């Protein structure tokens, strides 16, 4: 399964000449999901050659401008480019008013249907599911209602070699049961163990996107063991108090979350524009979690291939 993340922007608060505010694209097989949409996201989509008419689902973590100000412009461009297909927007209540007010005052009647799905900042919930993967929210702790998003592959059904089917003369109901990871007991007492007769399939992969949040125990539970965790690290330790006051995280704290949750890889992002040299983020994180990398525009993270 193709499972990739492309970082479009990883700056906090203000766009600068060095960094675009937050946005990224998650690709699952042929489907593209836009996660947050800071100012200038459509320019980044063009720059990194993401065909944005292929995006059918947009997830907005919260209503601070650095996470959604690019959305009215992107929707307007989709309209001008002749989009017909419905577009699903997931985010906190209020995102509808923001977009609808824009459209109303420009007397724009979209060529396509815009479908809002409001996220619940208090309870984890599934937002979208297919046969092969699901997307759900992650509860975060920020100054305003805010959720992250968890992309999870579903467990794949194990396969059975033809030679095994022949050898054991497996019947269709037996094959179905074995593929469901159930052992089969035949009338003569013979036991067909699914673990012995099926081929191993790769473990399902997962990606957790934690946008703005203070360090929060509940996040540790929700991202337990994910393949890749993107966690905000707006500040370094020199601004620990400021991080707590503004409900943000430091690089060290993000690494502590990754370590406690036993994730495979950590990606740091959402850097305050006060920092030019980002290497110090890595240094602070590495002391607690080795497999850490810094988000940067255009970075492609391969979760599964």
Beta carbon of residue 193, minimum distance to Zn ion (angstroms, whole number): 51
Q: Is 4 helix (H, G, I), strand (E, B) or coil?
A: strand
256: tokens are: 């502590």
List own/partner pairs for 29-35 with CB under 8 A and 24 or more apart. 29/1, 29/2, 29/132, 30/2, 31/56, 31/57, 31/130, 32/56, 33/57, 33/58, 33/59, 33/135, 33/151, 34/58, 34/59, 34/74, 35/59, 35/61, 35/149, 35/209
With contacts defined by CB under 5 A, how many residues of the chain interact with Zn ion? Answer: 4
207: tokens are: 């990606």
Beta carbon of residue 64, minimum distance to Zn ion (angstroms, whole number): 3
Tell me, residue by residue from 216 to 235, as one string, x for binding to Zn ion by CB under 5 A and - for no binding: --------------------
Beta carbon of residue 180, minimum distance to Zn ion (angstroms, whole number): 43
Tell me the C-alpha distance between 261 and 264, whole Å: 9
Cβ closest to Zn ion, residue 12 vs residue 301? 12
Of 119, 59, 124, 120, the residue nearest 87 (C-alpha): 59
Residues 9-48 that bind Zn ion (CB under 5 A): 12
Cβ closest to Zn ion, residue 153 vs residue 212? 212
Cβ closest to Zn ion, residue 85 vs residue 218? 218
Catalytic pick among 36, 66, 238, 304: 66
Cβ closest to Zn ion, residue 170 vs residue 219? 219
Residue 36 catalytic? no
Residues 57-116 that bind Zn ion (CB under 5 A): 64, 66
Cβ closest to Zn ion, residue 3 vs residue 230? 230
What DSSP state is assigned to residue 23?
A: E
CA angle at residue 61 from 78 to 242, to 5 degrees? 130
Matching residue, tokens 């690089």: 251
Beta carbon of residue 96, minimum distance to Zn ion (angstroms, whole number): 19
In Å, what is the CA distance from 169 to each residue of 162, 191, 197? 10, 13, 12
Q: Does 248 bind Zn ion (CB under 5 A)?
A: no
In Å, what is the CA distance from 28 to each residue of 90, 112, 123, 130? 17, 23, 25, 11
Residues 183, 170 contacting (CB under 8 angstroms): no
Q: How many CA atoms lie within 13 A of 118 on its CB side?
A: 9
Beta carbon of residue 19, minimum distance to Zn ion (angstroms, whole number): 12
Matching residue, tokens 């993340």: 5
Beta carbon of residue 214, minimum distance to Zn ion (angstroms, whole number): 11
Cβ closest to Zn ion, residue 64 vs residue 205? 64
Tell me, residue by residue from 183 to 212, as one string, x for binding to Zn ion by CB under 5 A and - for no binding: -----------------------------x
Show which residues are catalytic.
66
Judged by the rule CB under 5 A, the positions of this chain that interact with Zn ion are 12, 64, 66, 212
């Amino acid at each position: 399964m193709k499972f990739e993340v492309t970082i479009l922007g990883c700056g906090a608060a203000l766009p600068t000449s060095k960094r675009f505010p937050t946005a990224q694209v998650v690709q699952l097989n042929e489907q593209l999901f836009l996660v947050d949409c800071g100012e200038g996201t459509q320019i980044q989509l063009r720059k990194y050659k993401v065909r944005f008419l292929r995006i059918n689902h947009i997830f907005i973590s919260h209503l601070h401008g650095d996470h959604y100000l690019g959305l009215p412009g992107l929707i307007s461009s989709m309209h001008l480019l002749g989009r017909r297909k419905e577009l699903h927007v997931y985010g906190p209540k209020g995102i509808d008013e923001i977009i609808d007010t824009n459209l109303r005052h420009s007397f724009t009647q979209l060529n396509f249907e815009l479908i809002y799905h409001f996220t619940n900042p208090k309870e984890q919930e599934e937002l979208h599911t297919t046969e092969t993967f699901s997307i759900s929210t992650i509860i975060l702790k920020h100054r305003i209602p805010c959720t992250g998003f968890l992309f999870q592959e579903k467990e794949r059904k194990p396969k059975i070699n033809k030679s095994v089917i022949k050898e054991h003369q497996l019947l269709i109901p037996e094959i179905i049961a074995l593929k469901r990871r159930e052992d089969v007991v035949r009338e003569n007492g013979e036991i067909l163990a699914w673990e012995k007769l099926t081929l191993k399939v790769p473990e399902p992969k997962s990606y957790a996107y934690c946008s703005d949040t203070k360090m929060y125990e509940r996040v540790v539970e929700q991202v337990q063991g994910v393949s890749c965790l993107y966690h905000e690290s707006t500040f370094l330790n020199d601004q620990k108090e400021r991080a707590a006051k503004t409900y943000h995280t430091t690089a060290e704290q993000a690494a502590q979350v990754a370590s406690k949750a036993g994730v495979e890889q950590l990606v740091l992002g959402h850097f305050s524009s006060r920092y030019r040299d980002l290497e110090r983020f890595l240094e602070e994180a590495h002391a607690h979690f080795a497999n850490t990398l810094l988000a940067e525009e255009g970075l492609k993270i391969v979760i599964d291939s």
